Structure 1
Amino acid sequence: MFKKTSLQDWETLVQKQLKTEDIYTILSEDNLENLSVKPYYDSVKSSLANLPKVEESTHLVSSYHESAEENVFAFLLNNNVEDLTEKVIFVNDANLSEHISLDENNRYFSLVDIFSDNEKGKINVQLGKELLSKNFERNLCVDISLHQNAGASMIQQLSIGLAKAKELTEIFGAEIINKIIFKVSLGSNYFFEISKIRALKLLFNQFSKEFGLDETPFIFAETTFRNKSKNDPENNLIRSTLELSAAMIGGADAVFSNDYKMENSDSVSEEISFKQQIVLAYESIINVFNDAGNGSYYVEDLTQQLAEKSWKLFREMEEKGGYCELLKIGTIQTEINEQAMKEQNWVEEGKTKIIGVNLYPKLEKVKSSEEMYAGNEIKAVRLAEMFE
C-alpha cells in the first residue's frame, strides 16, 4: 500500500524546491485554447463514463497502391479501383462516389463533404441525396480538418462540427444522424488532441439526445499539415507519430497519415507514413483499447472543459443563425483568422517551438502573417511557411 500524497503535501514540497510560495505563477502556462491547466492533479470534478468507439479496433488507412492490396485492410480512394474484397474503403472524391463499383464484401464510407466552406455557406443538397442513396455505412461527412489546418482553435473546430451536423439534420432529417462521419485533423498538442477526440464523442452524443437518440460519432482522424515543414522532413515523422498516437488513444475509428514530405513525395514516403500506424498498432496495440484516456485526471478535466466551452459556442452560433448563415456574413472566417494569426504570432515570437523552423536551427522570417492569411477565407496554412 502506498501512502496517498495530498495536494497540500505536493505544494509544500514544490514550494521548498522552487524557494517560493507563489508556485502557481511559475508553473502555469498559457495555451491557445484558454483552458485551465493545473500543474498537479489529485482528483477530477466529476468522472466520465467510458467513451466507446463505433469500431472494435481503429482502422489503419492507407492510400491505395496495388502492391498493398494483400496486407492493407483499409484504403482511402481517390480513383475507382475494382476487384477489391474484404476491405474498408473510404471514398474521398465526389465524382468517384458516382462511379465506384460497390462490392458486397467491402465496407464503404464517404469522406465527401457537401458543404462549400468558402462559397457563402452553400450546401450541395443534390450531392447529399445522391450519397445517401448509396449503400454506404456512413454517407455524409462533416469535415473539420480544413478548419484545423486553417488555424481554428479546438473549441471552434468542435462547435463547427456540431453546427454542420445540425445543418444536415435540418435538410435531411434526424434519421441521418447515424449516417454522419466526422473527419478531423490532429496537431502537436498531445493531451489536448486526445481530449479533443473524446470531447467530440461527448458532444455528439449530447447532440443526438436532443433528437431522442444515443449515438456515438464515427471519427476519421488524419495528421495535420499545419505544423509540418519543408525543411528536415524527418521531423514531420515525429510530429505525425504523436498525432496518430493521440488519435488512437482518444478513440478515433480510423486513422490516416498524410505524407510526411511536403515536397518531392513519392511511393516510398507514402509507405513510410502509413507504416507509422503499423508500428503504433502492432508494437503498442493502442488501436484496440476502448477509451484509453479514461481515468486520467488531466485528460478527463481537459475533455470536460473542451466539451463545455464548445457546446456553449455551438449554442451561440445557433442563436445567430447557424453555421451557413455565419459563413455568409463572414463571422466564421473572421474568427478563425483571428485565432490563426494568434497561433502564428506565437510561432514568430518563439512561444510555440517548431524544431528545424524556429528552433535548432532558427530560420529567417521571409513572410508576414498578413501575407499568409486572408480574413475572408478559410484556407489551410502551414505555420512554417513564414520561414520558407
Structure 2
Amino acid sequence: MSELADWEQLVKKQLKTENIYEILQKENLENIDVKPYYHNNSEYKILPKIEESTHLVAEFQDGLEDQAFAFFLNENVENLEEKTFFINNADLAEHILTEEFNRYFSLIDVFSDDKNAAIDEHLAKELLSKSFDRNICIDVSFHQNSGASIIQQLSFALAKAKDLVENFGLDILDKLLFKFAVGSQYFFEISKIRAFKYLFNQLSKEFGKDLIPYIFVETSLRNKAKNDQENNLIRSTLELASAMIGGADAVFCNNYKVEESTELSKEISFKQQIVLAYESIINVFEDATSGSYFVEDITHQFAEKSWKLFLEIEEKGGYLEMLKYGEIQKMIFEQAVKEQSWVEEGKIKIIGVNLYPKLEIKKPISELYNSSEIKPIRLAEIFE
C-alpha cells in the first residue's frame, strides 16, 4: 500500500467511518483545497526577496531614531542619516529633498479606487522623476481591509501593474512597490505573499523581464476591535510573523488601539516587530517555508486561481475599466458580505467579539456595506 493509503486506513479505523474527508476537510472563504494529509510535493524553489533583511518600519516619533532604521512618514523629517523612509503623503513626496545617504520608497498609489477610474498621471510623473528606490506603490491593503479575498487582492495587484505598463511603458515594472495587508489566516497569508512572487515574476516575463516584486506589508485593520484591544496585539503579532516568514521586504504594524492611540501604543506596536525579529530572527530568512508540502500546495493554488482571475479582468478591459463600471466594487462587496456573515454565524471566530463576546450585534450588514463602493470596514464594527 502507498503512504497515503496507509494513513487513510488508520484514520478510518480511528474515526470509525469511511467518509473521513467529510470530517477532516474544512470549508474556507478562498475555496482552497486544504488536505488533511500531505505526503509528497511538486517542484519548488527558494523565492527570493529584494532586501537582505526585512525592514522593520516605525511610525516616526522622537526618541526612536536610535532604535529604528526605517520610518513610515506622513511629514518631513530632517537631520537623519543612513535611514530608510517609506513616504505616505503625496504632498511630501513632491517636495521632499532626497539625501544620498538615505533610501526612499513611495507608498503612494496613483489610482483612484472609485468610479472615477483614473490614474493621476501628473502625480505619477512627479513620483517617477524622484530619485527613489521605488517610485509608485500599488496598494491592495485597501482592498483587503474592504473585504477582498486573497485571490482578488493578488489579481488586482497584477491588473493595476498591467494598467501602469500600458500608460508608462515597461520600465515602470522596476519602479513599483506592492503594499499588502495581512490578516489572521496565518498559513494562507504566508502563501499569499509567496504566491505574489510567482505571479509578478510571471507577469514580468510576459514583457521580457525577470523581476522580483518589492513587497511592503502592514497588519490588517479588518479583524481588529475597539474593545479588548490587547487581543489586537496577539492578532497583529501573528500577522507580522506571517509577513516576515512569507518574505516581505518591509513590514509595518498598525496601532493595536483602533481609536485614541497614544505615543506609548505607537511604541509598543513598533516593538512587536523588534521582539519577533530579534528573538526569532525570522526577518532574515529568504524563504523559510520553502519545501513545506502544505504551504507549497496552497501557494500554487493561490497563484493559479489568481492568474486565472487576472486574465478574466484583462479580457474585460483591465482593472480601471472594470472599476469604471462598478464590477470590481461588486466583486469585493459580495466577498466582504460573505465574510461578515461568517463572523455573524460564528464560522469565523474573533476572540472578544463573537467568541467569549461582551457585545451584541448593533448594526446590520446592509448598513455597513455598499455594492457600489469599496470601503474599509472592520469585521467587529457590526458589534460596536
Could you state the TM-score of these two structures normalised by the residue count of structure 1?
A: 0.98
- 1:83 Cα deviation (Å)? 1.1
Which residue, 2, 15, 18 being the options, matches 1:18?
15
Kept in 2: contact 1:224–1:258 (CA 8 A): yes
- 1:19 Cα deviation (Å)? 1.2
**Cross-structure match for 1:270:** 266
What CA distance in whole angstroms lies between the structure 1 residues aligned with 2:342 and 2:274?
34
SS in 2 for 1:243: helix
- Find out whether 1:251 has 2:256 as its counterpart: no
Amino acid at match of 2:379: L
- Residues 195-344 of structure 1 correspond to what in structure 2 (within 5 A)? 195-344=191-340
What CA distance in whole angstroms lies between the structure 1 residues aligned with 2:127 and 2:335?
33
- Find out whether 1:62 has 2:62 as its counterpart: no
- 1:48 Cα deviation (Å)? 1.9
Which residue, 143, 151, 169 being the options, matches 1:173?
169
Kept in 2: contact 1:80–1:99 (CA 8 A): no
What CA distance in whole angstroms lies between the structure 1 residues aligned with 2:277 and 2:3?
36
- 1:350 Cα deviation (Å)? 0.3
- 1:112 Cα deviation (Å)? 0.4
Amino acid at match of 1:214: D
- 1:361 Cα deviation (Å)? 2.4
What CA distance in whole angstroms lies between the structure 1 residues aligned with 2:168 and 2:333?
31
**Cross-structure match for 1:128:** 124
Kept in 2: contact 1:47–1:300 (CA 8 A): no
**Cross-structure match for 1:35:** 32
- 1:13 Cα deviation (Å)? 1.9
- Find out whether 1:107 has 2:103 as its counterpart: yes
Q: Over residues 321-363 of structure 1, what are the superposed CA-to-partner deviations in whole Å (9 max), with x where a residue is unaligned? A: 0000000100000010000000000000000000000011252
- 1:5 Cα deviation (Å)? 8.7
| Shift >2 Å, 4+ stretches | none
Amino acid at match of 2:207: F
- Find out whether 1:351 has 2:347 as its counterpart: yes
Q: Over residues 96-116 of structure 1, what are the superposed CA-to-partner deviations in whole Å (9 max), with x where a residue is unaligned? A: 001212111000000000001
Which residue, 359, 381, 384 being the options, matches 1:385?
381
What CA distance in whole angstroms lies between the structure 1 residues aligned with 2:2 and 2:341?
40
- 1:6 Cα deviation (Å)? 1.6
Kept in 1: contact 2:104–2:132 (CA 8 A): yes
User: Which segment drifts farther, 287-296 or 4-13?
Assistant: 4-13
What CA distance in whole angstroms lies between the structure 1 residues aligned with 2:273 and 2:115?
35
- 1:140 Cα deviation (Å)? 0.8
What CA distance in whole angstroms lies between the structure 1 residues aligned with 2:94 and 2:171?
23
- 1:10 Cα deviation (Å)? 1.6
| Aligned residue pairs, count | 384
SS in 1 for 2:303: helix
Identity among equivalent positions (%) equals 66
User: Which segment drifts farther, 263-272 or 184-193?
Assistant: 263-272
SS in 2 for 1:208: helix
Amino acid at match of 1:16: K
- Find out whether 1:368 has 2:330 as its counterpart: no
Which residue, 187, 191, 203 being the options, matches 2:183?
187
Kept in 1: contact 2:115–2:325 (CA 8 A): no
Which residue, 139, 143, 151 being the options, matches 1:147?
143
Amino acid at match of 2:302: L
Amino acid at match of 1:17: Q
Q: Over residues 77-98 of structure 1, what are the superposed CA-to-partner deviations in whole Å (9 max), with x where a residue is unaligned? A: 0001111110010000100001
What CA distance in whole angstroms lies between the structure 1 residues aligned with 2:256 and 2:366?
27
What CA distance in whole angstroms lies between the structure 1 residues aligned with 2:136 and 2:380?
33
SS in 2 for 1:182: strand
SS in 1 for 2:180: strand
What CA distance in whole angstroms lies between the structure 2 residues aligned with 1:48 and 1:193?
18
Kept in 2: contact 1:82–1:101 (CA 8 A): no
What CA distance in whole angstroms lies between the structure 2 residues aligned with 1:287 and 1:294?
15
Q: Over residues 202-245 of structure 1, what are the superposed CA-to-partner deviations in whole Å (9 max), with x where a residue is unaligned? A: 00000000111100000000000000000100000010001000
What's the C-alpha RMSD, in Å, of the aligned pairs?
1.1
Amino acid at match of 1:36: D
